[in-house]
Chains A and B, each alone.
Chain A
Amino acid sequence: MRPLLRRVMWWVKRRRKEDELREELQFHLDEETEERRDAGLPDDEARWAARRDLGNEVRLREDVRSLWSWRPLDELAQDLRYAFRTLFKARAVTIFAVLSLALGIGANTAIYSFMDAILLRALPVPDPPSLVVMTWQSKAIAFGTSSGSEFVMHSIDGSFYKRPDGGVEGRIFPYRGFERLRQASTPVVTSLFTFFSDRKLNVLVDGEAELSSVLYVSGEFFRGVAVPPAAGRGLVPDDDRAGAPAVAVVSAGYGQRRFGSAANAVDRQILINNVPFTIVGVASPEFFGVDPGSAPSLYLPMHANLLLDRDAAERYLDQNYYWAGIMGRLRPGVGIAAAQSVLATAFEQFAASTATTDGERANLPMLRVQEAAGGLDTLRRKYSKPLYVLLTMVGLILAIACANTANLLLARATARQREIAVRISIGAGRGRLIRQLLTESLVLSLLSGALGVLIAIAGTRLLTVLLAAGSDSFTIDAEVNWHALAVTLLLSIACGVLFGLVPALQSTRPALVPALKDASTGLSSRPARARNPRLRVQQALVAAQISLLMVLLVAAGLFARTLSNLQSIPLGFNPDRVLLFDVNAVQAGYAPADAARYYADLRRRLSDLPGIRAATLSHASLIRAGRQHPVTIDGVRAQGTRLLQTGPGFFTAMQIPILAGREIDERDRAGTVDVAVISDLFARRFLPNESPLGRRVKIGGSSPMEVEIVGVAASARYGPLKYAVPPVLYIAYAQVPALQLQQMTYALRTDGEPMRYVPAIREAARAADSRVPITNITTQTGEIDQTINQEIVLARLCTSFAAIALLIACVGLYGTMAYAVVRRTREIGIRMALGAQRRGVVWMVLREACVLTAVGLAISLPIALGMSRFIESFLFDMKPNDPRALGFALAALLGAALAASYGPARRASRIDPAAALRHD
Chain B
Amino acid sequence: MPGQRPRVELLRGTLDLMILRTLLPGPRHGHAIAKHIQRTTEDLLQVETGSLYPALYRLEASGCVAASWERSDKGKRARYYRITPKGRKQLASEQSKWNAFVRAMGFLLKPTVEEGR
Q: How far is the CA of A64 from the CA of B34 in the complex (A)?
A: 17
Contact residues, B6-55 vs A (CB, 8 A): 29-31, 34-35, 48-50, 53-54
Q: For residue A55, which residue of chain B has the nearest CB?
A: B50
Q: Does A30 contact B (CB under 8 A)?
A: yes
With A28-B30, A55-B48 as contacts: A3 and B79 at CB distance below 8 Å: no
Q: Are B63 and A28 in contact (CB under 8 A)?
A: no
> Chain B's nearest CB lies how many Å from the CB of A44?
16
Q: For residue B46, which residue of chain A has the nearest CB?
A: A53
With A30-B76, A32-B31 as contacts: A64 and B62 at CB distance below 8 Å: no
Complex contacts, A63 vs chain B, CB 8 Å:
50, 53-54
Q: Are A54 and B54 in contact (CB under 8 A)?
A: no
Write out, one digit per residue, whether chain A residues 28-55 have a CB within 8 A of any chain B CB (1) or not (0): 1011100100000000000000000111
Q: How far is the CA of A24 from the CA of B81 in the complex (A)?
A: 12
Q: Does B61 contact A (CB under 8 A)?
A: yes
Complex contacts, A20 vs chain B, CB 8 Å:
69, 79
Complex contacts, B62 vs chain A, CB 8 Å:
3
Write out, one digit per residue, whether chain B residues 67-95 have a CB within 8 A of any chain A CB (1) or not (0): 00100100011110000000000000000
Q: Are A28 and B31 in contact (CB under 8 A)?
A: yes
Q: Does A10 contact B (CB under 8 A)?
A: yes
> Chain A's nearest CB lies how many Å from the CB of B69?
8
Write out, one digit per residue, whether chain B residues 85-107 have a CB within 8 A of any chain A CB (1) or not (0): 00000000000000000000000
Q: Are B63 and A6 in contact (CB under 8 A)?
A: yes
Q: How far is the CA of A28 from the CA of B56 in the complex (A)?
A: 14
The count of residues in chain A whose C-beta lies closer than 8 Å to any C-beta of chain B is: 26
Q: Does A23 contact B (CB under 8 A)?
A: yes
With A6-B61, A6-B63, A67-B57 as contacts: A27 and B50 at CB distance below 8 Å: no
Q: For residue A39, which residue of chain B has the nearest CB?
A: B2
Q: Are B54 and A60 in contact (CB under 8 A)?
A: yes
Q: Are B49 and A60 in contact (CB under 8 A)?
A: yes
With A27-B31, A27-B77 as contacts: A64 and B61 at CB distance below 8 Å: no
Q: How far is the CA of A31 from the CA of B61 in the complex (A)?
A: 25
Q: How far is the CA of A7 from the CA of B63 in the complex (A)?
A: 11
> Chain A's nearest CB lies how many Å from the CB of B93?
17
Complex contacts, A2 vs chain B, CB 8 Å:
63
Contact residues, A77-102 vs B (CB, 8 A): none
Complex contacts, B72 vs chain A, CB 8 Å:
27
Q: Which of A3, A53, A54, A56 contacts B61 (CB 8 A)?
A: A3
Q: How far is the CA of A184 from the CA of B3 in the complex (A)?
A: 104
Q: Are A27 and B76 in contact (CB under 8 A)?
A: yes
Q: Which one of B31, B58, B72 has the greatest number of beta carbons of chain A within 10 Å?
A: B31
Q: Are B50 and A59 in contact (CB under 8 A)?
A: yes
Q: Which of A1, A31, A53, A60 contacts B53 (CB 8 A)?
A: A60
Q: Does A21 contact B (CB under 8 A)?
A: yes
Q: Are A3 and B63 in contact (CB under 8 A)?
A: yes
> Chain A's nearest CB lies how many Å from the CB of B89?
15
Q: For residue B69, which residue of chain A has the nearest CB?
A: A20
Q: Are A21 and B53 in contact (CB under 8 A)?
A: yes
Q: How far is the CA of A6 from the CA of B67 in the complex (A)?
A: 13
Contact residues, A1-16 vs B (CB, 8 A): 1-3, 6-7, 10
With A64-B53, A64-B57 as contacts: A23 and B63 at CB distance below 8 Å: no
Q: Which of B31, B57, B63, B69 contacts A31 (CB 8 A)?
A: B31
Q: How far is the CA of A25 from the CA of B56 in the complex (A)?
A: 12
Complex contacts, A6 vs chain B, CB 8 Å:
61, 63
With A54-B50, A55-B48, A64-B54 as contacts: A24 and B30 at CB distance below 8 Å: yes
Q: For residue A60, which residue of chain B has the nearest CB?
A: B50
Complex contacts, A31 vs chain B, CB 8 Å:
31
Q: How far is the CA of A645 from the CA of B38 in the complex (A)?
A: 110
Complex contacts, B76 vs chain A, CB 8 Å:
27, 30
With A1-B63, A3-B62 as contacts: A24 and B50 at CB distance below 8 Å: no
Q: For residue A30, which residue of chain B has the nearest CB?
A: B76
> Chain A's nearest CB lies how many Å from the CB of B86?
10
Q: How far is the CA of A20 from the CA of B57 in the complex (A)?
A: 12
Q: How far is the CA of A364 from the CA of B102 in the complex (A)?
A: 93
Q: How far is the CA of A2 from the CA of B86 in the complex (A)?
A: 11
With A54-B49, A55-B50, A63-B54 as contacts: A27 and B79 at CB distance below 8 Å: yes
Q: Which one of B54, B61, B62 has the greatest number of beta carbons of chain A within 10 Å?
A: B54
Q: Are A53 and B49 in contact (CB under 8 A)?
A: yes
> Chain A's nearest CB lies how many Å from the CB of B30?
6
Complex contacts, B35 vs chain A, CB 8 Å:
35
Q: For residue A27, which residue of chain B has the nearest CB?
A: B78
Q: Are B49 and A28 in contact (CB under 8 A)?
A: yes
> Chain B's nearest CB lies how many Å from the CB of A141?
75
> Chain B's nearest CB lies how many Å from the CB of A168?
70
Complex contacts, B57 vs chain A, CB 8 Å:
21, 64, 67
> Chain A's nearest CB lies how many Å from the CB of B48?
6
Q: For residue A54, which residue of chain B has the nearest CB?
A: B49
Q: Are B31 and A67 in contact (CB under 8 A)?
A: no
Q: How far is the CA of A645 from the CA of B17 in the complex (A)?
A: 100
Q: Which of B49, B63, B69, B79 contacts A55 (CB 8 A)?
A: B49
Q: Which of A23, A28, A35, A59 contacts B77 (CB 8 A)?
A: A23
Q: How far is the CA of A238 from the CA of B34 in the complex (A)?
A: 85
> Chain B's nearest CB lies how many Å from the CB of A206?
65
Q: Which of B29, B61, B77, B79 contacts A10 (CB 8 A)?
A: B61
> Chain A's nearest CB lies how many Å from the CB of B59?
10
Q: How far is the CA of A64 from the CA of B35 in the complex (A)?
A: 21
With A3-B62, A31-B31 as contacts: A24 and B79 at CB distance below 8 Å: yes
> Chain A's nearest CB lies how many Å from the CB of B9?
16
With A20-B79, A30-B76, A55-B48 as contacts: A25 and B61 at CB distance below 8 Å: no
Complex contacts, A60 vs chain B, CB 8 Å:
49-50, 53-54
Complex contacts, B29 vs chain A, CB 8 Å:
24, 27
Q: Are A67 and B58 in contact (CB under 8 A)?
A: yes
Complex contacts, B53 vs chain A, CB 8 Å:
21, 24-25, 28, 60, 63-64
**Sample of 5 A–B contacts (CB below 8 Å):** A21-B57, A24-B78, A55-B49, A60-B53, A67-B57
The 7 closest A-B pairs by CB, nearest first: A55-B50, A63-B54, A31-B31, A24-B79, A54-B49, A28-B31, A60-B50
**Which B residues have a C-beta under 8 Å from some C-beta of A?**
29-31, 34-35, 48-50, 53-54, 57-58, 61-63, 69, 72, 76-79
Extra A-B contacts (11), CB below 8 Å, given A7-B61, A27-B29? A3-B61, A23-B77, A24-B30, A24-B78, A24-B79, A28-B31, A28-B53, A53-B49, A59-B50, A63-B50, A67-B57
